[in-house]
Structure 1
Amino acid sequence: MKKMLFAVAAATIAAAASAAYPDKPITVVVPFAAGGPTDKVARDLAEALRKQLNNTTIVIENVGGAGGTLGAAKVAKAAPDGYTLLVHHIGMATSPALYRNLPYKTLDDFEYVGLVNEVPMTLIGRPDLPANNFAELRKWLEANKGRINLANAGLGAASHLCGVLFQQSLGIDMTTVPYKGTAPAMTDLLGGQVDIMCDQTTNTTGQIESGKVKAYAVTTTKRLTAPALAKLPTLDESGVKGFNVTIWHGVYAPRGTPKPVLETLNAALRKALKDPDFIKREEALGAVVVHDARNNPADHKKFVEAEINKWGPIIKAAGQYAD
């Protein structure tokens, strides 16, 4: 009888807390450095979400390191009350293969709130690279085997994953140069210290538009419509058949977050994804806001599981792991 009364009381308290949600600031953890592609998406999304959550303050906390796993681990261990959330990219699906000692279980330690967007990637080069189009770049890569420096933002970063697949697709080994974030990688590319990089349009569109880098192709199967990117061919049409890499972002909460809170968050997310200002900002960067079944928590989780199965063999074939 006492156990039953305790259970009823606990359920009543949880329901009351959920009904009041949110009644204090929400922290959104971004598992990468400020200024990077995921950070940009998270900050734009936070503004759109704030409007749907009674103008509740949403604080962005950048917890970078270990390819995004430190920030994700922090959220996995946070109190499951809806006040600590995670905005993460495809690294949610690739970390299980990249890290032998991952401090959380991707499919078990989080509640899935919904998918946000899909971000194409672009293949870019230093401004003084001799090649002016992809055909010329491919010849240059063939002629300079063993001397090519391929930059990325660190193990597990979107640029790292794209670079791995690009090397495998061309059958050309390159010297991978990892950085602690996208910003320093881009700085060295602009300065000519590295040769090429494959990175998200959210980070490269401005550089392409200003002519500070050479742009060769996009990683989607169809050309993009953003003004600065519309003339770029796809890698698939350029001869790298079947090449298709899209970086997506999703929202997650700690496992055990009350269902009413998750329902509130999902409803707010769905409305935020229809916010004209948010859509406009994303489209300007070449990103596509998701409006399909993956906005649903269950389908979001199924999608991540499918991505785990897709990227696992690719990463294992490359033999690039971390402890």
Structure 2
Amino acid sequence: MKKLLLTGVAASLCAGAALAEYPEKAITIVVPFAAGGPTDKVARDLAEVMRKSLGNQTILIDNVGGAGGTLGATKVAKAAPDGYTLLLHHIGMATAPALYRNMQYKTLEDFEYLGLVVDVPMTLIGKPSLPANNYAELAKWIDANRGKINLANAGLGSASHLCGLLYQSTVKVDMVTVPYKGTAPAMTDLLGGQVDLMCDQTTNTTSQIEAGKVKAFAVTSSKRLSGAALSKLPTLDEAGLKGFQVGIWHGVYAPKNTPKAVTDKINAAMKNALKDPDFMKRQEALGSVIISDARLNGAEHKKFVESEINRWGPVIKAAGQYAD
């Protein structure tokens, strides 16, 4: 018995030492969308500063796109729970249960929730040749062109898809939704005039707005944003759509049963990164709002995601847009 006790103590000490040395090798953050998109930008900015608090260990970005983010999330859910494979996902973490009937993971059961990092507002933008120059003119144009308006999105379950669903529901106008395989091709066709409108994250639209390549009509935040290009835009609430607000929040996750000592280290590194001056400056320029409330912590992060599942489920089901 004494020998068994000693063995158990030794094993515990070894495990503790291993955790204390985390990370001993490169960490991978899985982004469940294509490189160059809004979520990818957030992940790369975050990884660049998080590594400073993790012994300057390398943090790699692995873009695993497809199926509205569920392929990348599945990869992390099934990964070893050792802290070396993480997930950075947006609002799709909460909307996927309503959009996809055959997911290979359970959102609230198969992950350790590590905290939210940024909330990215959306912008309602249009093709350069659109005759409207402000939201009031756009509203009249939409009413006059019912049934003929093309609304682009980056694919089922994307942020632009979700914003488009809520917008159509709010203004009570059905549009022809045009899904693309990612944000970049959707933006290309909007710039070329092949589609009329898109509602996408500020991280993807700010540079196009600043360059005058698209027409910008409003933001989806609760108040106006800072930044030369975005501060001129009214909120949709101001423009008359009372209560309209969509923020594309981004959070960090680890596989279920990742040791608490490891998740605590990751959470601490994440919080330090959010205070980094360079990170803060980059996010402000893109219109992103850095999370500073209780959702920085895992338990509140999880409660928030559950509330978002309950919020978006009815909207998605009413639209009748599902995928197997």
TM-score range normalised by the length of the shorter chain: over 0.9
| Closer/same/farther in 2, CA of residues 192 and 108 from structure 1, 3 Å limit | same
After superposition, the C-alpha distances for 1:108-155 in whole angstroms (9 at most, x for unaligned) are 100011110111100000000111111111111111111110000000
Q: What is residue 79 of structure 2 aligned with on the other side?
A: 78
Pairs within 5 Å for 1:1-323:
8=9, 10-323=11-324
Displacement, 1:16? Answer: 2.1
Partner SS for 1:215: strand
Is contact 1:97-1:321 (8 Å) kept? yes
Quick check: 139-148 or 158-167, which moved more? Answer: 139-148
Instruction: Provide the rounded CA distance (Å) in 1 between the counterparts of 2:199 and 2:319.
Output: 17
Displacement, 1:292? Answer: 1.3
Match for 1:202: what amino acid? Answer: T
Displacement, 1:236? Answer: 0.9
Instruction: Provide the rounded CA distance (Å) in 2 between the counterparts of 1:143 and 1:92.
Output: 36
| Closer/same/farther in 2, CA of residues 3 and 97 from structure 1, 3 Å limit | farther
Q: Which runs of 5+ in 1 are unaligned?
A: none
Partner SS for 1:120: strand
| Closer/same/farther in 2, CA of residues 149 and 259 from structure 1, 3 Å limit | same
Match for 2:247: what amino acid? Answer: T
Displacement, 1:7? Answer: 5.6
Runs of 4+ displaced beyond 2 Å: 1-14
Q: Which runs of 5+ in 2 are unaligned?
A: none
What's the Cα RMSD here?
A: 1.3
Partner SS for 1:35: coil
Displacement, 1:88? Answer: 0.4
After superposition, the C-alpha distances for 1:10-46 in whole angstroms (9 at most, x for unaligned) are 5434322211100100001000000000000000000
Instruction: Provide the rounded CA distance (Å) in 1 between the counterparts of 2:285 and 2:239.
Output: 24
Instruction: Provide the rounded CA distance (Å) in 2 between the counterparts of 1:47 and 1:195.
Output: 36
Partner SS for 2:295: helix
| Closer/same/farther in 2, CA of residues 133 and 257 from structure 1, 3 Å limit | same
Quick check: 194-203 or 134-143, which moved more? Answer: 134-143
Match for 1:82: what amino acid? Answer: G
Partner SS for 2:167: helix
Is contact 1:150-1:174 (8 Å) kept? yes
Instruction: Provide the rounded CA distance (Å) in 2 between the counterparts of 1:195 and 1:25.
Output: 43
Instruction: Provide the rounded CA distance (Å) in 2 between the counterparts of 1:124 and 1:273.
Output: 29
Partner SS for 1:113: strand
Partner SS for 1:151: strand
Displacement, 1:227? Answer: 1.5
Match for 1:223: what amino acid? Answer: R
Quick check: 162-171 or 310-319, which moved more? Answer: 310-319
Instruction: Provide the rounded CA distance (Å) in 1 between the counterparts of 2:189 and 2:285.
Output: 25
Displacement, 1:239? Answer: 1.1
Number of residue pairs the alignment of both structures matches: 323
Partner SS for 1:322: coil
Partner SS for 2:200: strand
Instruction: Provide the rounded CA distance (Å) in 2 between the counterparts of 1:17 and 1:188.
Output: 51
After superposition, the C-alpha distances for 1:93-112 in whole angstroms (9 at most, x for unaligned) are 11011111111011110001
Partner SS for 1:221: coil
| Closer/same/farther in 2, CA of residues 130 and 23 from structure 1, 3 Å limit | same
After superposition, the C-alpha distances for 1:76-106 in whole angstroms (9 at most, x for unaligned) are 0000000000000001111011111111011
| Closer/same/farther in 2, CA of residues 274 and 144 from structure 1, 3 Å limit | same
Is contact 1:14-1:258 (8 Å) kept? no
Partner SS for 1:28: strand
